[in-house]
Chain A
Amino acid sequence: MKKKILCLVGCLFVITILSSGCSKATQPAAKTTKYPGKPITIIVPFSVGGGLDLAARALEKGAAKQLGQPLIVVNKPGGAGAVGWNELAGSSPDGYTIGMVAADMLCLPLYDSTKYNYPTALEPLAQVSAVPMVIAIQTGQPWQTLDELIAYGKSHPGQLKFGHGGVGSFPHVIGELFGEAAGIKMEQVPFRGAGEVTTALLGGHVQLIVVNPMVVKEHVRNGTVKVLAVTGEKRLKEPLLADVPTFKEQGLNVMLNNWYGVAAPKDLPIEVKTELEAGLKAAVTDPEFQQEMNNMGLQVEYVDARGFGEKWLADNRIFTRVVQETGILDVIKAQKK
């Protein structure tokens, strides 16, 4: 009896080890076949459940049809995205490793802490979604409009605290940009992600937060949270938040959108790149995908590879200016010492 069980366990282990060993490295590289010859890995540099991850998973659903091969979503969280993007930039440009990118990708290299300069180390493929950020507050506070908030901030310098998802992250930049445009002094409180930021707002531990609208949508519906302003050119499409004015309408120059897109390592072979671009265009413009994204509160906005690359450059200029002028860069440099 004993020997049988031992034998069984032993065999199971051998099988596990063999099968795990065989799965990856030993496969011969299929060079002669047409490009998507095997499933494509898509790196998501954040943990499961964030907006970028959800977008990747929505792409994954229809990938077999539109890209010709299934997508495998691999989450590589850590370092505000740096871990995953380093891996993406360092992987071989054969088209079998692509990754999700977001505006944070432009912020990180500005602080001299990353291994690669992502805008030049990566190849844009397609923008999937434009994600405006919102400023949200708790209902029942003495400020219920953007003007009241600014007035309060002016009379109580340093009293307002805004929560965001990490020092130097995109929401942090937006928050500082808002403070600068409104001429008020706010303290920033870093958290580890949108979930924690929202928790802190609901508990009244911070007075305002900068988040993706999808995160607070349910709380707006419930009446506990109010959204004061939207970054970007246009108002949100989401019916619940469609009457929230943009910053621009309220006379403040806070005009940055976060965006989600897909990129690959630099120097992709041209035929692979064309193939991927076409596949992604089909995937993103697919009505089913758009419906899916809408349900999650993400606005789909397809931009082709060239336009996406131009956006990287334009936004990079804005970020470089903002992190310098608002002192984010100084804060980070000071912490590094």
Chain B
Amino acid sequence: MDVWSLLLQGFYISISPGNLSACIIGVLIGTLVGVLPGIDTVSTIAMLLPFSYGMDSTTALILFAGIYYGSKYGGSTTSILLNVPGEAASTVTCLDGYPMGQKGRGGAALAVAAIGSFIAGTIGVIGLTLFAPPLAQAALAFGPPEYFALALVGLIVLTKLTGTSILKSGLMAAIGVMLGTVGLDSLSGISRFTFGIGELDRGFDLSILAMGVFGIGEILTVMTQPEDHPEIPRLKIRDLYPNREEWRRSVPAMFRGGIAGFLVGLLPGPAATISSFVSYALEKRCSKNPAEFGHGAIEGVAGPEAANNSAIAATMIPLLSLGLPFCGATAILLSGFMIHGITPGPALITQQPELFWGLIVSMYIGNVLLLIINLPLIGVFVQLLRTPLNILMPLVAVVTLTGAYAVNNSVFDLLWVVLFGILGFFLHRTGFEPAPLIIGMVIGPELERGLVQGLIICNGSIWSLVTRPIAGTILSFGAVVLVYSAGKWLYKAGNAREKIKC
């Protein structure tokens, strides 16, 4: 087989001492970037670019790619332990990972996140190996009208993630969309809703919102709770890892998440973040007991953590086979390529096979390394959960505030993270869920941009948005989901009424 010989060639390249150590250093830095909230992949790679000038180009790219996919491994750690997402893509892990930690299953959650990441990372790299050029071409068929359709359906499907009422989640999602419009409009460059405050031009950063609502919100919630919280049982070594029941539930979730994440990753936008939400929604629909979601369902950790890793591999496809970065992190990778005199494009695979295949094989190796690095760390991290709350909560505050400052090196953001924390606290007290808020903020800008660009492309006719084949298919899927949900609701309401009559 042709692919095998090329992979073998890539294997020789990636196993050379320089490249292997670049891979190890890359995934180590990546894990660190993932664990530390507020420190993101883009700024880390940007910071390290100057150090790569002296390196061989393949080595440098293996290093940067390692940081990129490595960062999604560690992101779940703080989500599970402290309710502070380490990466935007791990926000959804807070929903079930943190409750699992509270119940003393933190070790299981961390293990499932690491193994899920490994499985999905492998799925992603296999997809990248086998189908890169055709998938890249397929991704091009999606234009602005299709993004609009996807965003609209995504908003409908993903809004009802957690157990609260549709009205409450819808309201949250709407506020999220509104928050997403603050700042300089990316298309016209006009400031909106900034009230003349220069710092607001940047808009709200997703990680600031997530860290505030989850991290600071949690501190306030714990502070106002009565003192007699249950003692977390002492952990035995056996309890660190998932039990048989947890395995049975999480392995299918990992595979589903891996495949879903890969498909979402092909599309432009913050793919890793969206993919984790998509996978969460998928798991909830597949699960036999959806009521458990939000209170420590292990599928809700396994699926999303898997999804964001395979999404990463998928985002490499447009970059490597078309030279087009579909998200911020691949844009910086592209810059890494260009600085080393390589312009990725359709010809990269044929003209620089040693670079392409060396990079791919290093991703296989890197995923194995990440698993080896992450599994022993679980034992260490789980000890944190036994920390008394009066020590743990200040720790959360320090992690959140340091992270929030690190996002843009801005003191102004610290103010916002606290404000969002207070918001998160009141949302919690009044029975609103913060997840739809975050979805609204992620998808809102995509929705708006898709609509504006799509309408221009379709000569201002909203009907032609619907009649384009792909957009139409997506929209009708959304309509089916809506009709199905409404029908189910009516049926239930009818049943309830009959019961009252009797």
Contacts and interface: CB of A to CB of B under 8 A. Distances in A.
B200 to A, nearest CB: 11
Interface stretch (B186-194, B255-263, B419-427, B435-443): B186-194
Nearest to B202: A78
A168 interface: yes
A222 B347 contact: yes
A29 interface: no
A124 to B, nearest CB: 23
Interface string A116-135: 00000000000000000000
A99 B318 CA distance: 31
Interface string B180-217: 00011011111100000010011100000000000000
B191 A113 contact: yes
B415 interface: no
A49 B387 contact: no
B402 A203 contact: no
A5 B387 CA distance: 10
B456 A187 contact: yes
Contacts of B45: 48
A5 B328 contact: no
A57 to B, nearest CB: 6
A54 B339 CA distance: 7
Given A2-B386, A48-B335, A113 B190 contact: yes
A202 interface: yes
A49 B344 contact: no
A236 interface: no
B134 interface: no
A292 B268 CA distance: 30
A218 B188 contact: no
Interface in B322-375: 322-326, 328, 331-332, 334-335, 338-339, 341, 343-348
Interface stretch (B138-146, B243-251, B305-313, B477-485): B138-146
A198 B346 CA distance: 13
A158 interface: yes
B142 A203 contact: yes
A5 B379 CA distance: 12
A195 B325 contact: yes
B346 A219 contact: yes
B419 to A, nearest CB: 21
Contacts of B191: 79, 113
Residue of A189, A200, A217, A336 contacting most chain B CB atoms (<10 Å): A189
Interface string A161-195: 10000111100000000000000000111111001
A218 B187 contact: no
Contacts of A285: none
Nearest to B49: A57
Contact of A83 (B144, B201, B323): B201
Contacts of A169: 189
A217 B449 CA distance: 27
A218 B188 CA distance: 29
A209 interface: no
A205 B332 contact: no
Interface residues of A, number: 65
A54 B338 contact: yes
Contact of A190 (B53, B187, B322): B187
- The interface residues of chain A, by DSSP majority, are classed as helix
Nearest to A207: B457
Contact of B187 (A54, A166, A198): A166
Contact of A218 (B183, B328, B343): B343
Contact of A166 (B186, B203, B346, B456): B186
A217 B341 CA distance: 13
B3 interface: no
B143 A200 contact: yes
A189 to B, nearest CB: 5
Interface stretch (A9-17, A249-257, A271-279, A313-321): A9-17
Contacts of A295: 341
A336 B194 CA distance: 13
B347 A218 contact: yes
A198 B324 contact: yes
Contacts of B457: 161, 189, 205-206
A203 B383 contact: no
Contact of A108 (B50, B189, B201, B323): B189
Interface string A1-33: 110011001000100110000000000000000
A199 B332 contact: no
B42 interface: yes
A215 B456 CA distance: 24
A147 interface: no
Contacts of B345: 217-219, 221-222
A113 B191 CA distance: 8
B479 to A, nearest CB: 24
Of the listed residues A9, A49, A111, A202, the one surrounded by the most CB atoms of chain B closer than 10 A to its CB is A49
B202 A13 contact: no
B459 interface: yes
A295 B337 CA distance: 11
Contact of A167 (B189, B318, B459): B189
A141 to B, nearest CB: 15
Interface in B377-426: 380, 383-384, 386-387, 391, 395, 398, 402
B46 interface: yes
Contacts of B42: 47-48
A204 B146 CA distance: 13
B473 interface: no
Contacts of A6: 387, 391
A126 to B, nearest CB: 21
A218 B189 contact: no
A173 B51 CA distance: 38
B129 interface: no
B456 A189 contact: yes
B331 A47 contact: yes
Contacts of A53: 335
The 4 closest A-B pairs by CB, nearest first: A218-B345, A205-B143, A49-B335, A79-B184
Given A5-B384, A115-B198, A192-B187, 6 more contacts: A82-B184, A189-B456, A191-B453, A198-B324, A218-B343, A218-B347
6 contacts: A54-B335, A187-B456, A189-B457, A195-B334, A199-B322, A332-B188
Interface of A: 1-2, 5-6, 9, 13, 16-17, 47-49, 53-54, 57-58, 60-61, 73, 75, 78-80, 82-83, 86, 108, 111, 113, 115, 158, 161, 166-169, 187-192, 195-196, 198-200, 202-206, 214, 217-219, 221-222, 224, 292, 295-297, 332, 335-336
